[in-house]
Chains A and B, each alone.
Chain A
């Protein structure tokens, strides 16, 4: 079982993989609701800001892959792989239109970034990276419209060192649409019924104890904890949730990153990147 320093180590990265936003996203990207038209220019500005934080503030190597017009959702690279401790599980996304996205991801992760590639071989298994919550000590996999039992099982096979538990997801696209890691042992979760139900499930089956920080807005519960820094929503987007972050994390360096545009197509903060440690830690 990992101890505190082990966990912190697992949230320390030295490289990030992102992908550009294709024009086709505006019209063709998958979305659960119609929340209005996406302003591509705004969206790309936010994307730049995100990259800038990674590169300039956190001093990470940022690999930005070229957008592919035939893949309108390709900027959401999180769904294509689950990377932990030098092992990258290449997923089979639940939505068939997104499956070709993994090809480039696999090449990049296995190539210069030196990750050990594991593929999902079981027929019928589907998994979206956005459904996988890794706490540093165990995995919770959301069983949603995109991820099924077999897919979750593939994850368990790929990471046998960690307990993997299945969590039913309702009312949201992915498990991480409702919650994410806000620090070692800290889960940020939304306050909707669905989110609360999911976190209760987690508490029931978890192998370890976690603290929860509840945000008034479900979408704000998706934040990125990386190298002892917390990236979260901006004050404009979700002022109440922003306040909670400020209150509950007074000592943690925080960066607010706007994301209103991609939010319209179910894009959250964690969706935009794959966090990598180039040298696998053994």
Chain B
């Protein structure tokens, strides 16, 4: 029976008119998952008029040609249920793009599944392929939906912490963690929040451990087109790995359309089976007109991707130089549109205290990274900034910090 949690009701000005507020109800294994940190910080940002470099969504729009494709799809009447595992044209476009990126030829009908964003790809993969009690390895810090969906699947989570300054994979720790009891390992590369990109050497070691112990790999590659300092490598492209890998991706980051929620998985048929079973009970089908537009997007010429990288590189330079000048210790970020920094020069007790101070006293939002760890104390010195904002916004945020944020002597 669902248990009544003792957490207090959300802070809101509206009162229940007909009944007194009741304690929150939530399934036991999900009690720790409350309003996401992103929602909390964005709400605080609005309240204080702060410049939001927290949640990773751009404040500029996606390309016109993709928006026009969606409008045309709506006008053409593509508004009813799509095929559950994806509009055929999008499945083909995903397969074509995957071939271009990895060299692998996959069957769009049997090996591509379209989902409501990569968030749902993750949920469908976990719920479709993980049994209660299965052991799954994550690298901390990790995107917050991983832990929640693994809890929904009843998994045993083992976390391996990536540490500054380079967030390299601690291989000895990984070798002692992985065993024949491990069902899967989840890799996010390029990595949110650190911007780390898994090197070929790291992926090779992980691959051989997975083959030796018969472990599946789930990869979240949503930032693959925002790779600045090195080439992105898909685990699925390594010898012997495609047959045990689910590769997840989405439209939103590459095309600045994070609200459209178009994602996908690419996996061999025997793994796609589980993903599709769960997907059919989570959302059943994905937004039809946006899928048609996504197919158009994925056929963008190389010049689109080159300009995307140039644009984001310029933004990154503004933020990184600015943060260094303010006094943060800035860790190198090879990919994504995030950078993590050490905030301790400013004398606040932990990342959450620092972020609250930053919003209220300085007027800038960052995300406290402790929420991305199984053991929050591992992240208390770090906060994450995003540079997926227009240059004016980035400069304004840097100016506010230069003016109001002073390192403690």
Q: Tell whether A and B belong to one assembly.
A: no
